Amino acid sequence: MTRLRARLDACRRAGRAAVVGYLPAGFPDRETHQALIARAFTAGLDALEIGLPGPPPPTEGSTIVSALTVGGQAVDGVRDSLALAAAARVREEDVLIALAYDAVLEAAGIDALLETCRGAEVDAVLVPQQSMQRQLDIARIAQGADIDVVIFLHRRGDIRQLVETDLVDPIIYLQSASQHTGAPFDQDTAVWRLRDLRSELGSRPARVLVGFGVASPRDVEVLVRAGADGVVVGTAVVDAAAAGIDELDNLVVALRSAAAPAASRRQDPERE
């Protein structure tokens, strides 16, 4: 079992959603980047996406675009980016996800990217600009390297391919609404999209993470009640990281607390 799946299983057993954060590689500088990662994991983050250096798509808001530019100046390509992040793990079970935009794939190729991830002990990849069919194909390739592919879903028309895929228990990143990162959270659309996906999946097992616009404990609570297996918080994590390590710590603790159903919120034994 991969490290990401083991973490999601642990969250499910604990009766809570997983909290996934995002930081651009190298942001804001090498030393601080590693300190931020270590603090985030210590505070209770379940997994961290590392945005690999390269031109971002138009779905990324100004905060993430700016942070990618700054961080990109501190790292020397994909291998250096992932090795830097991996060295900041606090525990062996801390999960890292490599987020690769199209420019990264075009420059390196999927085989080289997967090999680099395996060498750095990175657990999963996310390729959000690729078509659904290409993501599913990459997921099959990645299985041989014991690496998960988090399937990015933003078009409802792609759900049928997910329902019919031969992949077992896919991990899905559901875009909460048709917007760019950093936009206000659209609660109604997010809940509708999540419930619609669950309905289409039926009894087929799948782990569903929801992101885009998710920024506050209140947003997380909404998604937990709607049945999300996890939440992805990007812009808010980058903003907190830019404000300092303590701000990031406070945000992660608050998000982690909100990720448990209200009736079971208490000090998490995993953090003790």
**Where does the pLDDT of residue 262 fall: very low under 50, low under 70, confident under 90, or very high at 90 and above?**
low
Closest CA to 89 of 120, 55, 130, 56: 120
- For the cut 50, the answer to whether the pLDDT of residue 71 exceeds it is yes
Residue type, 20: V
Structure token pair of residue 126: 């996310």
3-state secondary structure at position 209 = strand
pLDDT digits (tens, 9 = 90+) for 152-175: 999 999 999 999 999 999 999 999
- Where b means 16+ CB within 10 Å and e means fewer, 126-149 reads bbbbbebeebbebbeebeeeebbb
pLDDT at 270: 45
Set out the domains of the chain in order of their start, with CATH numbers.
3-261 (3.20.20.70)
Task: Find tokens 């404990």 and name the residue.
Answer: 217
Q: What is the pLDDT of residues 239-253, one digit of tens each?
A: 999 999 999 999 999
Please give the single-letter amino acid code of residue 79. R
Q: pTM for the whole thing?
A: 0.94
Whether the per-residue pLDDT at 272 is higher than 80: the answer is no
- Which tokens go with 10? 């642990």
The answer to whether residue 130 scores a pLDDT higher than 60 is: yes
Q: Is the pLDDT of residue 267 over 70?
A: no
**Placement of tokens 């069919």 in the chain:** 133
For residues 192-219, give the mean pLDDT: 96
pLDDT tops 70 at residue 269: no
Least trusted range by pLDDT, from 56-70, 215-229, 243-257: 56-70
